[in-house]
Amino acid sequence: MYIDIVDLRDFYATDLGQTARRLLVHRLRRLWPDVSGLCVVGLGFAGPALGVFREESARTLAFMPAEQGVVNWPSDGPSSATLVEETQLPLGDGTVDRLVLVHCLEMSERPRDLLREAWRVLAPGGRLAVLVPNRRGLWARFEHTPFGHGRPYSRSQLVRLLRETLFTPNAWGEVLWVPPFRGRFMIRSAAAWERAGMMIRAMPPGVLLVEATKQLYAPVSAKEESRARVRLVPALAGEPVPSPRLGAVNRRVPGKHPI
């Protein structure tokens, strides 16, 4: 179930939200250092992560699910945000070069349908970036942040879901080792927490970031092929018997020839 757009906007207006946005953008930027001339689309509440790409990409769009609501984005200049149905994006096949899911996959009630739609709109060679709360992380346990809502994922669960929807994970990132506390000390020491988390790994990160590419051809196992072939062949149960009506018509009557 999606969080209301007002709650998302209010969180990212706080000091904790601004810190989380800065760390997420930094990690995403390391993943995609150059998007010159590309079409970049965000789905969910991706506006806080998309601003870094606006100046160099050919087009940057923010799609916000109808269950969540929509706000104007960016705050300055013409709006690039629109309200959409998450499984029916208003885009042609293969028209997006980079697609970012933020506060989206974990909120969706139909994650597989959502990812299949993402597969449809991505161009051959296009890349998908998914940010989800880590099932083992602290951020998934506190509901005063958006990462404490929806369904958190482990790395193995995310890999399985992506492969089932014809994506191949090829790069991983982790972010938000800083605990989700609102105190000034925690917020000011966020960079130190991130450096310590990357080196020590004593505490699981709050958010998982995975980059995946679309598979153009999906392998089909012999078992699945056999199962599909069986479904296409109608089967009759029991032994065939003549219809009672036809049996009555064809029954011999004394002194008359059968019809």
For residue 74, is the peptide bond before it cis, meaning its omega torsion is within 30 degrees of 0? yes
pLDDT mean across residues, the chain: 85
Residue 186, pLDDT above cutoff 80: yes
Q: How far apart are CA 99 and CA 127, in angstroms?
A: 6
Q: Using 50, 70 and 90 to split pLDDT, how confident is the model at 213?
A: very high
**Domain boundaries in the chain?**
5-214
| Contact call for residues 146 and 3 (beta carbons, < 8 A) | yes
pLDDT value at residue 218:
55
Instruction: Name which residue leads in pLDDT, 114 or 216.
Output: 114
- The Cα diameter of the chain in Å comes to 109
The whole model's pTM is what? 0.81
| Geometric angle at alpha carbon 121, from 149 and 225, rounded to 5° | 90
What pLDDT, in 10s, does the model give residues 4-36? 999 999 999 999 999 999 999 999 999 999 999
Residue 219, pLDDT above cutoff 90: no
Q: What is the DSSP letter of 148?
A: G
| Contact call for residues 134 and 154 (beta carbons, < 8 A) | yes
Residue 202, pLDDT above cutoff 80: no
* Average pLDDT over every residue of 115-122: 96
Domain 5-214 is found in CATH 3.40.50.460:
no
Q: How far apart are CA 126 and CA 99, in angstroms?
A: 8
* Rounded CA Rg of the chain: 26
pLDDT value at residue 28:
95
* Average pLDDT over every residue of 225-229: 43
- Using DSSP, state whether 212 is helix, strand or coil: strand
- Using DSSP, state whether 151 is helix, strand or coil: coil
Residue 135, pLDDT above cutoff 90: yes
Q: How far apart are CA 241 and CA 246, in angstroms?
A: 11
Q: Using 50, 70 and 90 to split pLDDT, how confident is the model at 78?
A: confident
pLDDT > 70: what percent of the chain? 83
pLDDT value at residue 233:
39
